[in-house]
Structure 1
Amino acid sequence: MTAAPTSVAFDGPARRSAPVTRPSWRSLLPWAAGPVWIIAACVTWRWPDADDFPDTTLLAGLFLAGGLVLLLAAALHRLSARAPWAIALGVGLAAWEIAQAKLLWLPRPFFGTPQDLLDVFVTDWRKLGDSLLHSLALLVVGYTIGSLVGIAVGVGLGRSVRFRYWVQPVIRLIGPLPPVALLPLAFVLIPSSRVASEALMSLAAGFPVAILTWSGIAAVDPAYYDVARTMGARGRFLVLRVALPAATPQIFVGLFMGLGASFAMLVVAEMLGVKSGLGFYMQWAQGWAAYPNMYAALLVMSVMCTGLMTLLFRVRDHVLKWQKDGLKW
């Protein structure tokens, strides 16, 4: 008696297991930033200082808070692009803490510790804030006046032959001069050191703005003016609605250049003449060998300058919405 053949069920070709995707090291970077800052906090708190430095516990707490914030940002997928910089900053601060606060490798008082810098912001924030407000007021007045005058002069150079005949030689004579070279003369001719500094900052900002505005106005296609005239446009309309909009990209280039020149003139003016502001604060700190205060003023000045530059970029991006490939800050 033969056994019945066993039936074999065929489900078709054997299924292949799906390949296991392993996370790349780039996807793990956001999760590494937080632990780096937490390790920096542990090093700051547990490793004894080489000297009696202030605010060590507060600094460790700030590092710990930064690490927790970075972990939260990684969990919310908000840290992918900035993760390498967050890691580098945490490693740099930890290295600075170890090299100076724990081992004293660099000579003091020229090189301070993170605790020294933090102590300046904790104890001297009023004077730093007052210096920042004075610098901002001085810069805004000088830069605004210089920019407006520069745009007006640039329009005149680009639109009027007679105006260009008389003004161009003056610009060629005075414009390329560094405004710093005119500082002693300005303090002699203008009794107020503040007004003299604002005038020099206006000159520093006005020259590049005038030249770039002139270049933009001169580059406008004459056909635009012809079309506007056939529709009844007058001189003011041609300037405000044809020439200036077409020259706006060049004008913003001049505004950026003028802002950088105003920054340089601001520091020199405050160090040599104006008795207030961040430049004056830095000179005062250097005179008393308070180098952490000087570094704190440098940090505040850097934040102020990059903040104003960012604001100008935002204004440019809003005005020039049609530019898709413009430089991003």
Structure 2
Amino acid sequence: MTVVQVDTEVPTPNPPPPQRSRRGVPRLALNLISVVLGIGVWWGLSKAGFDFPTPPAVVKRGWELFADGTLEADIGASLARVLTGFVLGVVLAIPIGFLMGWYSIARGLLEPWVQFFRTIPPLAIIPLAIVLMGIGETPKIFVIFLASFLACVIATFQGVVGVEKTLINAARVLGAKDHTIFARVVVPASSPFILVGMRVGLGSSWATLVAAELIAAQQGLGFRMQNAELYYDLPTIFVGVIAIGVLGLLMDRVLLLAERRLTSWQERR
């Protein structure tokens, strides 16, 4: 008797050819293209009759201010005010945001006041700050502090109350105590909100700087711009605007880098 063997193996289809990865334009190149286009539009508007100084005129004025030490002194004064107010605001906002989000009693006591002051523009506090604190550095820093504090405390609070109940309940089932849940679950889960609040607070601090330096300042980018306004010195105003924008952008990039390092577990597009 002859046994016939039947091949039962199912032929595997040929693997699909590897797809070529689509490599887009690098982000840095796009940023550079955007900057060049923006400068080109600015230059075109100034040549078309709009009352703008040309980019070479602004560069020349910026070099003059840098050469005589004025620009460095103004940048140093403004940076000191922004950093002091911003750091104080963040340091106070994060624990208060955690208290409001974690404890219902603290939320009931503090949230009405936070929401009340959040609806008042920090610039409206300037007259009151001058009357109560004088015309020194304290009212300038206080106004900047208030702007960063309100942005960061709301973001921290939303981050804590937005933590999924499933994560907290799972930690409780595993026997974790409240302090462990807070440190291991709530803080990491709310850290993206905190860092976004810090970035928003930093932008609010720089936005408030010019008005804060209305308070009898003798140095600072905002003071220099307001002084140039009296003499219709547009190149100096543009130098101040560009300096504030560049400094704010650099500080925001630092916070963005910290956000990516501290929230590397989070999925991103």
1:95-110, aligned counterparts within 5 Å?
95=44, 99=47, 106=49
1:123 and 2:64 matched: yes
Moved more, 175-184 or 201-210: 201-210
1:37-52, aligned counterparts within 5 Å?
none
Partner of 1:264: 207
Separation (CA, whole Å) in 1 of partners of 2:106 and 2:77: 37
1:134 and 2:83 matched: no
User: Unpaired segments of 5 or more residues in structure 1?
Assistant: 1-29, 31-76, 100-104
Please report how far the alpha carbon of residue 253 of structure 1 lies from its aligned counterpart in structure 2 after TM superposition.
Answer: 2.5
Q: What residue identity is the alignment partner of 1:282?
A: M
1:182 and 2:125 matched: yes
Indicate if the aligned counterparts of 1:142 and 1:199 stay in contact, CA closer than 8 A: yes
Partner of 2:53: 112
Any idea what SS the aligned residue of 1:271 has?
Answer: coil
Normalization by structure 1: what TM-score? 0.65
The structure whose Rg is larger is: 1
Q: What residue identity is the alignment partner of 1:159?
A: W
Q: What residue identity is the alignment partner of 2:136?
A: S
1:238 and 2:181 matched: yes
Which residue of 209, 215, 221 corresponds with 2:152?
Answer: 209
Please report how far the alpha carbon of residue 168 of structure 1 lies from its aligned counterpart in structure 2 after TM superposition.
Answer: 1.6
1:275 and 2:224 matched: no
Which residue of 301, 318, 324 corresponds with 2:261?
Answer: 318
1:220 and 2:160 matched: no
Indicate if the aligned counterparts of 1:111 and 1:291 stay in contact, CA closer than 8 A: yes
Separation (CA, whole Å) in 2 of partners of 1:199 and 1:141: 9
Separation (CA, whole Å) in 1 of partners of 2:76 and 2:83: 10
Which residue of 247, 251, 269 corresponds with 1:308?
Answer: 251
% same residue: 26
Q: What residue identity is the alignment partner of 1:319?
A: L
C-alpha change, 1:187 and 1:92, in structure 2 (3 Å) is same
Indicate if the aligned counterparts of 2:130 and 2:215 stay in contact, CA closer than 8 A: no
Partner of 2:113: 170
Separation (CA, whole Å) in 1 of partners of 2:59 and 2:91: 40
Q: What residue identity is the alignment partner of 1:194?
A: E
Separation (CA, whole Å) in 1 of partners of 2:27 and 2:161: 46
Separation (CA, whole Å) in 2 of partners of 1:255 and 1:85: 26
C-alpha change, 1:87 and 1:178, in structure 2 (3 Å) is closer
C-alpha change, 1:249 and 1:93, in structure 2 (3 Å) is closer
C-alpha change, 1:214 and 1:291, in structure 2 (3 Å) is same
Separation (CA, whole Å) in 1 of partners of 2:76 and 2:95: 29
C-alpha change, 1:236 and 1:187, in structure 2 (3 Å) is farther
Normalization by structure 2: what TM-score? 0.78
Separation (CA, whole Å) in 1 of partners of 2:32 and 2:209: 35
Q: What residue identity is the alignment partner of 2:65?
A: D
Separation (CA, whole Å) in 2 of partners of 1:86 and 1:146: 32
1:88 and 2:37 matched: yes
Indicate if the aligned counterparts of 2:101 and 2:157 stay in contact, CA closer than 8 A: yes
Indicate if the aligned counterparts of 1:96 and 1:114 stay in contact, CA closer than 8 A: no
Indicate if the aligned counterparts of 1:208 and 1:255 stay in contact, CA closer than 8 A: yes
Please report how far the alpha carbon of residue 161 of structure 1 lies from its aligned counterpart in structure 2 after TM superposition.
Answer: 1.8
Q: What residue identity is the alignment partner of 1:117?
A: V
Instruction: Provide the aligned C-alpha RMSD in A.
Output: 2.9
Any idea what SS the aligned residue of 2:119 has?
Answer: coil
1:254 and 2:197 matched: yes
Please report how far the alpha carbon of residue 143 of structure 1 lies from its aligned counterpart in structure 2 after TM superposition.
Answer: 0.9
Query: What CA deviation, in whole Å up to 9, does each residue of 1:37-66 have, x standing for no partner?
Result: xxxxxxxxxxxxxxxxxxxxxxxxxxxxxx
Indicate if the aligned counterparts of 1:270 and 1:280 stay in contact, CA closer than 8 A: yes
Indicate if the aligned counterparts of 2:78 and 2:209 stay in contact, CA closer than 8 A: yes
C-alpha change, 1:91 and 1:112, in structure 2 (3 Å) is closer
Please report how far the alpha carbon of residue 169 of structure 1 lies from its aligned counterpart in structure 2 after TM superposition.
Answer: 1.9
Partner of 2:20: none
Partner of 1:53: none
Indicate if the aligned counterparts of 2:45 and 2:52 stay in contact, CA closer than 8 A: no
